Amino acid sequence: MIIQEQIKNAAKAAVQALYNVEASEKMVQLQETRPEFEGQLTLVVFPFVKAARKAPEQVGEEIGSWLKENCAALVSGYNVVKGFLNLSVAPAAWIAFLEDISKDSRYGFKPVTDDAPLVMIEYSSPNTNKPLHLGHVRNNLLGWALAQVMTAAGRRVVKTNIVNDRGIHICKSMLAWLKWGNGETPESSGKKGDHLIGDYYVAFDKHYREEVKQLMSQGMDEETAKQEAPLIKEAHEMLVKWEQNDPEVRALWKKMNEWVYAGFDETYKALGVSFDKIYYESQTYLEGKEKVEEGLAKGLFYRREDGSVWANLTKEGLDEKLLLRSDGTSVYMTQDIGTAKLRFQDYPIDQMIYVVGNEQNYHFQVLSILLDKLGFKWGKNLVHFSYGMVELPNGKMKSREGTVVDADDLIEAMIKGAREMSADKVNRLEGLTEEEAQEIARIVGLGALKYFILKVDARKNMLFNPEESIDFNGNTGPFIQYTYARIRSIMRKSEGLSAADLSQATLSTKETELIQHLGDLPAVIEQAAGDYNPSCIATYCYELAKEFNQFYHDYSILHEENAANRALRIELSKAVAQNLKNGMSLLGIEMPERM
Ligand code: ARG
């Protein structure tokens, strides 16, 4: 049991014995002792003052002395400051606690029971007309981390993805490929499928813009030119054919989407993310249309003269929202209604979380209201995990279109950067095969990327700085990974040493603080899950690594002469490594055995 719980139980026993008070959980308030006072944990005595009918100082004195006498194995000393009882936990209790942590290879992780709340987390959710970019990277990392954190906090988690696989965007790529592709395939060109499709999307755009320019030079206004350009008309015709199930269009669509999925899968694999269930818009949009028609019949929505269907949300402080176009085709919102319906049919979801960028805040506000109106009781409480934009410093890695940073390029550059970093420190990697060195570069490069993105508050816009992220000093993934690798090296060297009785060790303040910090992990996980905030985990790992490095700097470990102290320090190091590894795993970050 964590020390806090042990102390709380002892305090309950004390007030029961002294004042005949049955203390509730809320009455027993424990804090960390302020650094200027002696002790590690502080009990607030005010809640017992009334029952005791004594001054706070005296109550503190009485509880302190009772604990010292009756729980000597746990409490070794105390002092009272006003209504606060500062307690020194007995070294033996800290050491026993350390041994408990060390033994539990998943310390801080709650078991997931069959009756735990079921949380569905949607993340990634790309369109199929282009490859994943830096924004998706942030999304995928957040979604994955959130899922890990929720699981560690004992929730049942279903990771899901909605692939927006139909619509005008994919028709544009298809049309361009038909016109200018000469039958190019991923095999024939050696290009990843998603990149290939992305190239045709760009080609479409280029030709389309030329057409618009041409029409405008003939005197047409821009708005009309954009609608009248032959290419866009052709793309729309293709979309209509798609909706009519035209076999040729469908076959091409299927073939090209499959290329894209093969490409996405590679990127997902490289990022280390996966899904339990993937939904496709092509399979959900009809459900959405049906629900909208139902809502129309119930008078929740209305039809305009041109045949389009709208929701009037002005009463809710929003505006009017299009749900079906005048030609009957569905929009983005329609699809989301259908997708939500299917998901709740498939799973007994207690909580639905959408990991989607903050440019869609309004969309999810509307979705929540629409689902509620349509009678889905869970609509009201859906969670939009809304994150900010991520950019690279100017001039770094602009893709050809000059707008977004490609995810695959970024991952490759990070691994290369990590490899170059380790080339500076050749001796550390001495004796490793090329393969092993490359594997370390992969772990460190991705660790740098993931940590830098996940350490910041998800809501904030951020700048991803590759150089800074890979620095071995400072608040970075590689710094924490390096701390871990250092401990693993100590562990390898300690293997031959004989065992010793830890209870004979003396415990310094620094060591006590480290044990106390180790004990915080369960509460940090709980907080990260409750606040949907994986960055707490990053902060925890960083602080722990920093504290360990100070300890490592100030104390000998393997060279300590007293066998019991040496064994204690090895045990402590081992537990730090374990917590670092488990904590970082929640962020999807692997740890190298050496680096
Ligand atoms: N595919 C969309 C886009 O790229 C994001 C989908 C987000 N999820 C959702 N349920 N609407 O903008």
**Beta sheet of 30-32, edge-to-edge order:** 30-32, 41-44, 84-89, 75-81
Residue-wise pLDDT for 569-579, tens only, equals: 999 999 999 99
Please give the distance, rounded to the nearest whole angstrom, from the Cα atom of residue 356 to the centre of ligand 1: 7
Structure confidence at residue 431 as a pLDDT band (50, 70, 90):
confident
Compute the C-alpha angle 167/274/419, nearest 5°.
110
Distance between CA atoms of 46 and 55, rounded to whole angstroms? Answer: 9
Residue 292 belongs to what H/E stretch? helix 281-297
Distance between CA atoms of 515 and 509, rounded to whole angstroms? Answer: 10
**Could you tell which of 122, 123, 125 is best to mutate to test the pocket of ligand 1, judged by most ligand atoms within 8 Å of the CB?**
125
Please give the distance, rounded to the nearest whole angstrom, from the Cα atom of residue 125 to the centre of ligand 1: 5
Please give the distance, rounded to the nearest whole angstrom, from the Cα atom of residue 451 to the centre of ligand 1: 24
Percent of the chain with pLDDT over 70: 97
Q: Which ligand 1 atom is nearest residue 363's CA?
A: 11
Confidence (pLDDT) at 399 = 52
Distance between CA atoms of 486 and 594, rounded to whole angstroms? Answer: 7
Which residues neighbour 447 within 8 Å (Cβ) at sequence distance 6 or greater? 477, 478, 480, 481, 584, 589, 590, 591
Residue owning tokens 């620094």: 510
Average pLDDT for 274-299: 97
Q: Which of 589, 529, 585, 451 lies closest to 146 in space, CA to CA?
A: 529
Please give the distance, rounded to the nearest whole angstrom, from the Cα atom of residue 379 to the centre of ligand 1: 17
Secondary structure letter of residue 316 according to DSSP? G
**Could you tell which of 121, 136, 138, 164 is best to mutate to test the pocket of ligand 1, judged by most ligand atoms within 8 Å of the CB?**
164
**Could you tell which of 360, 367, 382, 389 is best to mutate to test the pocket of ligand 1, judged by most ligand atoms within 8 Å of the CB?**
360
Which residues neighbour 523 within 8 Å (Cβ) at sequence distance 6 or greater? none
Angle between helices 535-554 and 521-530 (to 10 degrees): 160
For ligand 1, atom 8, the nearest C-alpha belongs to 125
Residue-wise pLDDT for 369-412, tens only, equals: 999 999 988 889 899 999 999 988 876 665 545 567 999 999 99
Which residues neighbour 109 within 8 Å (Cβ) at sequence distance 6 or greater? 152, 525, 582
pLDDT at 426 exceeding the cut of 60: no
Distance between CA atoms of 243 and 166, rounded to whole angstroms? Answer: 9
Residue-wise pLDDT for 194-216, tens only, equals: 999 999 999 999 999 999 999 99
Please give the distance, rounded to the nearest whole angstrom, from the Cα atom of residue 205 to the centre of ligand 1: 21
Q: Are 542 and 129 in contact (CB under 8 A)?
A: no
Residue 170 belongs to what H/E stretch? helix 168-180
Distance between CA atoms of 116 and 202, rounded to whole angstroms? Answer: 46
Residue-wise pLDDT for 14-65, tens only, equals: 999 999 999 999 999 999 999 999 999 999 999 999 999 999 999 999 999 9
Distance between CA atoms of 92 and 412, rounded to whole angstroms? Answer: 50
Q: Are 279 and 123 in contact (CB under 8 A)?
A: no
For ligand 1, atom 5, the nearest C-alpha belongs to 125
pLDDT at 438 exceeding the cut of 80: yes
Q: pLDDT higher for 504 or 260?
A: 260
Burial of 101 (C-beta count, 10 Å sphere; 0-12/13-18/19+): buried
pLDDT at 122 exceeding the cut of 70: yes
What is the DSSP annotation of 91-112?
HHHHHHHHHHHHH-TTTTPPPP
Percent of the chain with pLDDT over 90: 90
Average pLDDT for 80-96: 95
Q: Which ligand 1 atom is nearest residue 164's CA?
A: 1
Q: Which of 498, 468, 500, 485 lies closest to 548 in space, CA to CA?
A: 485
pLDDT at 289 exceeding the cut of 80: yes
Q: Are 369 and 328 in contact (CB under 8 A)?
A: no
CA atoms within 13 A on the CB side of 383: 18
Confidence (pLDDT) at 595 = 87
Structure confidence at residue 428 as a pLDDT band (50, 70, 90):
low
For ligand 1, atom 10, the nearest C-alpha belongs to 336
Which residues neighbour 537 within 8 Å (Cβ) at sequence distance 6 or greater? 145, 149, 454, 524, 525, 528, 583, 586, 587
Confidence (pLDDT) at 403 = 64
Please give the distance, rounded to the nearest whole angstrom, from the Cα atom of residue 101 to the centre of ligand 1: 42
Q: Which ligand 1 atom is nearest residue 364's CA?
A: 11
CA end-to-end span of the chain: 35
Confidence (pLDDT) at 542 = 98
Please give the distance, rounded to the nearest whole angstrom, from the Cα atom of residue 363 to the centre of ligand 1: 10
Burial of 397 (C-beta count, 10 Å sphere; 0-12/13-18/19+): middle
pLDDT at 427 exceeding the cut of 70: no
Confidence (pLDDT) at 402 = 55
Task: Please provide residue 280's backbone torsions phi and psi, each rounded to the nearest 5 degrees.
Answer: -120, 135
Distances (CA, A) of 488 to 64, 199, 243, 482: 41, 46, 58, 10
pLDDT at 248 exceeding the cut of 90: yes
Please give the distance, rounded to the nearest whole angstrom, from the Cα atom of residue 360 to the centre of ligand 1: 8
Distance between CA atoms of 105 and 108, rounded to whole angstroms? Answer: 9
Residue list, ligand 1 pocket, CB within 6 Å = 122, 125-127, 162, 164, 336, 354, 356
Question: What's the whole-number average pLDDT of the chain?
Answer: 94
For ligand 1, atom 11, the nearest C-alpha belongs to 336
Please give the distance, rounded to the nearest whole angstrom, from the Cα atom of residue 581 to the centre of ligand 1: 32
Distance between CA atoms of 25 and 86, rounded to whole angstroms? Answer: 19
Residue owning tokens 């310390």: 107
Pairing of strands 383-387, 351-357: parallel
Rank 2-6, 165-169, 540-544 by mean pLDDT and report only the highest. Answer: 540-544
